Amino acid sequence: MPGYCQVKRKVPGQQQPQLVCRFDFPMECRADAGIGHDSKRRVRFEAQRNDPLLNMYNPAMILGWTANIDIKPVLSTDAARNYIAKYASKAEQQAPAFPQLLSGIVNQMEETGSAKTACQKLLNKMLGERTYSAQETAHLLLGIPLVRASTSFQTLHLGAEGGMRELQVNEDDGSEDPDERQVTGDSYTKRGPGLEALSLHDVFKNYTWVKTEWRKKRTSTNTVLRVFPRLSPDPTGDQYKAYCRTKVLLHHPFRLPESLRVVDEQVQTWAQIWANCRAAGHDHPKDTLRCWENENRTRQEEEDDDENVPNPNAPANEEDWQVFAQAFPNAALPQFGIDDLGMRPLD
C-alpha cells in the first residue's frame, strides 16, 4: 500500500493507533451494487466488486481514458461543494523560476545556437513544466475568458485614520492592478435621503457609484463585498479595537463615524459599541471579515490522527502471488509450465 494512503487512526480493540488506508481499502466484495457507509459513517455508493483492491470504474470511461480512474457518484450537496472547493483551490506544483529555466536551456544548447532558438525552447519548457496549463493556453489562444462567474466582487478598504475607498480591477485594459475609483467616505456620508437607513455594507453591496450618485444594481447581480484590512478578531489581541471599529462602521448607518461612539451623551470605545451591538442581538448580514467564534470552533479534521473508526473488516481474500510476496519478500515468483500441471500448490 503506498505511503501516502496510510494514516494512523484509533481502532476499537487496539491500544495504539493503527496504520489504515484512508480510502478504506481493502473493501468487501459484493455481488450487487448498493448504498453503504465509509469509515467515517458517510453515505457512499458501492458498486459490484469481485476484487477488494480495485478502484470503482465505468467500463465506457476507462476505455476512453485508457488510464487509471476512480468514479464516485455525488450523493449530497455538501459533497459536491467540498469536491469543487478542493480541486478549484488546489495549486499546481511550483515550476522553476524563469532565470533557472533559461539557464538550463542555454547550458544544453550548442555554441552556435541563436537567441531565437533559446526563446522558443523557453516557451516550450514553460508549457512542459506546467507553468501554463494546456487548458489555459488554449483559452488564451482562442480569446476565451479564463474565468466566468455569476458573482461580482468589490473591495472596500477601511483605513485606520477614517479613510474609506473602493478598489476594483480595471477590466477594460486587461490589467490586474487595482484601479481606485472616485468612491470615498464622502460618497457614503453624503448619500441621498433615500439611503439614510442603509449601512456601509448595504450601500456598497447593492448600489454602484456613477459619477455623482448611487444607483441601484440589477436584482440579478450578486455581489460579494471584500473588506480590508482583515484584522484579527481575538479579544485579547492588539488589533481587536480596530476590528470592532471596522465591524461597527460596516453595519451601522452613519453620517460621521465618531457619532456612533456617542451613547447617552457619553463617548464609548469601539469595543464597547460592538459588545453592546452583540448583546442587543442585532442581526447583521454576513460579511467577509474574520469571525472569532468560527476560528475557535472545535472541528473534526478529516485526517485527524485521533479519529475513531470502526474495526477494519476481516482480512481480505488474498491472491496466491500476494501470499507468496509476503512470505518471501524480494523473491522471484515461481514459474510453472505445462509439465507441472497437477504438481502445483494450487492443484
Which pLDDT value is given to residue 301?
A: 44
Over residues 81-102, the mean pLDDT reads 78
Please give the C-alpha separations between residue 139 and each of 142, 143, 145, in angstroms, as whole numbers: 5, 6, 7
How buried is 64 (Cβ within 10 angstroms: 0-12 exposed, 13-18 middle, 19+ buried)?
Answer: exposed
Q: pLDDT-based confidence at 32, cuts 50/70/90?
A: very high
b/e code 280-305 from CB counts within 10 Å (16+ = b): eeeeeeebebeeeeeeeeeeeeeeee
How buried is 8 (Cβ within 10 angstroms: 0-12 exposed, 13-18 middle, 19+ buried)?
Answer: middle
DSSP string, 184-222: EHHHHHT--GGGTT--HHHHHHHEEEETTEEEEPPTT-E
- Residues 148-188 pLDDT 10s: 888 888 888 887 665 666 655 444 434 334 334 455 667 88
Q: pLDDT-based confidence at 1, cuts 50/70/90?
A: very low
Flag the least confident range among 48-52, 149-153, 249-253: 149-153
Q: Among 81, 83, 89, which Cα is nearest to 70's?
A: 83
Query: Angle at the Cα of 208 (from 184 to 196), degrees rounded to 5?
Result: 70
Which pLDDT value is given to residue 304?
A: 46
Over residues 332-337, the mean pLDDT reads 64
CB 95 within 8 A of CB 130: yes
Over residues 82-91, the mean pLDDT reads 81
Which pLDDT value is given to residue 320?
A: 64
Return the C-alpha cell found at 71. Answer: 468514479
With 50 as the cut, is the pLDDT of residue 6 above it?
A: yes
Over residues 133-148, the mean pLDDT reads 83
Which pLDDT value is given to residue 240?
A: 92
Please give the C-alpha separations between residue 327 and each of 199, 215, 319, 320, 335, in angstroms, as whole numbers: 73, 77, 13, 11, 17
Q: pLDDT-based confidence at 251, cuts 50/70/90?
A: very high
- Residues 279-331 pLDDT 10s: 988 888 889 898 888 887 654 444 444 444 445 444 556 666 666 666 666 66
Per-domain boundaries in the chain: 3-88, 98-142, 156-294
Which pLDDT value is given to residue 169?
A: 44
Which pLDDT value is given to residue 245?
A: 92
Percentage of residues of the chain with pLDDT beyond 70: 73
What mean pLDDT, rounded, does the chain reach? Answer: 78
Percentage of residues of the chain with pLDDT beyond 90: 13
CB 254 within 8 A of CB 191: no
Return the C-alpha cell found at 240. Answer: 481587536
DSSP string, 135-190: HHHHHHHHT--S---SEEEEEEEE-TTS-EEEEEE-TTTT--SEEEEEEEHHHHHT
Residue predicted with more confidence, 347 or 17? 17
Find where cell 494546456 sits: 134
41 secondary structure, DSSP code: S
